[in-house]
């Protein structure tokens, strides 16, 4: 740790002074009909450069069950992305940049939201349904219903959402994928 400019001699930079973190670009093909929006990548995801990289995050298991793709979560990452695209499912996050210590959404500060409506209109014209993976993504993005999308609030796939079993989460996730065109 070093001195913080303007804080006086011997001052220590606190943990609150963190760099602005940047998320990932969308995984989204022009023919996508479903989009799952998370909040912001966790530490494991940022370190690996992969969406939902934490081994206890249930995203890939949930997506595999919804798409009827057995063992999707066990496939190499690039293959998982290809499967999602082949099934016309996009993956992105509501938050473009933020400050955060750890991986919890509750620790997100200085959040800058992605230009969701404009980007989706231009790059995913067939998009119909958007699922919000967790509370923060819902809070910051549910206004997309105003643009004609059907929106779904999903139980978080995060290991922090341990109050829901996998089966309970899956019950909330299935309707997002039930009527894909």
Q: How does pLDDT run across 134-176, given as a tens digit for each residue? A: 888 999 999 999 999 999 999 999 878 778 899 999 999 999 9
Q: Of 47, 57, 114, 133, which residue is the catalytic one?
A: 57
Establish whether 114 is a catalytic residue: no
**Beta strand segments in 39-141, E:** 89-93, 95-99, 109-113, 129-133
Q: Compute the distance between CA of residue 67 and CA of residue 53 in angstroms, rounded to an integer.
A: 19
Q: Which fold has domain 29-178?
A: Uracil-DNA Glycosylase, subunit E (3.40.470)
Please give the model's pTM, rounded to 2 decimal places: 0.85
For the chain, the domains span 29-178
């Amino acid at each position: 740790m070093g001195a913080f400019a303007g804080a006086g001699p011997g001052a220590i930079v606190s943990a609150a002074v963190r760099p602005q973190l940047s998320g990932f670009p969308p995984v989204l093909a022009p023919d996508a009909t479903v989009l799952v929006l998370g909040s912001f990548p966790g530490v494991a995801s940022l370190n690996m450069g992969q969406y939902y990289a934490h081994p206890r995050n249930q995203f890939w298991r949930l997506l595999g069950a919804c798409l009827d793709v057995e063992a999707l979560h066990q496939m190499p990452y690039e293959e998982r992305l290809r499967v999602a695209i082949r099934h016309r499912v996009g993956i992105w996050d509501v938050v473009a940049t933020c400050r955060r210590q750890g991986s919890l959404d509750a620790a997100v500060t200085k959040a800058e939201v992605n230009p969701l409506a404009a980007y989706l209109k231009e790059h995913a014209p067939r998009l119909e349904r958007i699922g919000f993976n967790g509370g923060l993504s819902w809070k910051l993005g549910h206004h997309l219903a105003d643009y004609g999308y059907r929106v779904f609030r999903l139980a978080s796939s995060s290991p922090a959402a341990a109050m829901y079993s996998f089966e309970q989460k899956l019950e909330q996730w299935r309707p997002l994928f039930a009527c894909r065109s």
